[in-house]
Amino acid sequence: MVALALMAMVVVGSTAFGLSLRHDITYFFSSAPITDLGEVTDVEPADLRTNVHVRVAGTPMLSRSVRYRRVLSGAHGVVFPLAGQRTIYVHADDSSDALARSEFTGRLVTFNDLGGRIDTVESYLQQDLELPVSGESFLLLADEAPGADVWPLLLALLCALFVLLDVWLFFRWFRPARPGPATPDV
C-alpha cells in the first residue's frame, strides 16, 4: 500500500512540476521576432505581454540593483530597475558590462511566471529597497533568446518519463496473474 501511495505522489508531483515549466517550454519553441519596446519611459505597462522576446532601452538604476548568487550553478546575477519607470526590472548576469549597457534584449516575464526562482530578490526589492515590486511586475531576463535554454525541456521530458513509468507499473501491479505451467501429478 505504501508503494502505491508513493507512486501516486510521484505522478502528482511530476505532473505539477512539468506543468510549472510550461512557460519556459513555450518560450523555447517560440519563433516570433523581437518586439522593440523602445525607450522604457514610453512603455505602457497595460500593453505588455509576458513570455515574449523584447528589446528595451533605458538607464539602469545602480543604487537600486541587487546582486545575488545562484545556488546550483554558483553564478552571480543582478536585478535592477530602469530609470524613469516602476514596472520593468532587468535580470542579467553580474558581469562587468551588465550595468553599463543602455539597451537590453531578452525574455519578458512577470515575477509570478518564475515561480519561486527569485522570491528572495523580489522580497529584498520590496522590503529593503522599498520598490513597488509585485508578482505582476515585469522582469526582462536579459540575453535569454528562444531556444537558448534546453534545461526546461529536458526536465519536462524527465517528468513525463516518471509519470509514464509509474502509470505502467501501476497497471502492471493490478493486472491479472497469468496461469503458470501445469505440474503433472506423480
pLDDT of residue 56: 94
In this structure, the answer to whether residues 153 and 71 fall within a common structural domain is no
CA pair distance 139, 117, nearest whole angstrom:
12
Distance CA 149, CA 47 (A): 26
Full domain range(s) for residue 151: 1-29+147-175
Pair 42, 110 in one domain: yes
Q: Using 70 as the pLDDT threshold, list the residues of the chain that sit under it.
A: 96, 182, 185-186
Query: Is there a domain that residue 119 lies in?
Result: yes
Quick one: 121 and 163 in the same domain? no
pLDDT of residue 133: 84
pLDDT of residue 96: 62
Q: According to the model, what pLDDT value does residue 136 have?
A: 85
- State the pTM of this model: 0.75
Look-up of cell digits 521530458: 157
C-alpha cell at position 113:
511566471
pLDDT of residue 64: 86
Q: What is the pLDDT of residues 48-99, one digit of tens each?
A: 888 899 999 999 888 888 888 877 777 788 889 998 888 899 998 877 677 7
Tally of structural domains, the chain: 2
Which 3 state secondary structure label does DSSP give 35?
strand
Q: What is the pLDDT of residue 124?
A: 82
Query: What integer pLDDT is reported at residue 54 of this predicted model?
Result: 93
